[in-house]
Amino acid sequence: MIEPGFLRLLVCPSTRESLREATAAELAAVNAAIQQGTARNRGGAAVTEAVSGGLVTASGAVLYPIQDGIPILLSGEAIPLRAAP
């Protein structure tokens, strides 16, 4: 869990949208895609390790994984949650 004061300071590096913690349903969906071998990050690399936490943009478009308690706020590491319009 990210401390609320710190979370308010974080934004998406690409869109500057605010971020929120991923819901259990969002994490389950990402992990199901990882298990099926269909999850790719914005950089095009396959995501192979399960995600235990993440930050989601206000629009719900992408999830930034949290690894060892550290949000990975690199655009290329973001995992799309829905198809781009």
Does residue 78 have a pLDDT over 60? Answer: yes
Nearest residue to 71 via CA among 23, 21, 14 = 21
Does residue 84 have a pLDDT over 60? Answer: no
Helix, strand and coil percent figures for the chain, each rounded to 5: 25, 25, 50
pLDDT tens per residue across span 19-56:
999 999 999 999 999 999 999 999 999 999 999 999 99
What is the band of 85 on the pLDDT scale with cuts at 50, 70, 90? very low
Domain ranges of the chain: 4-80
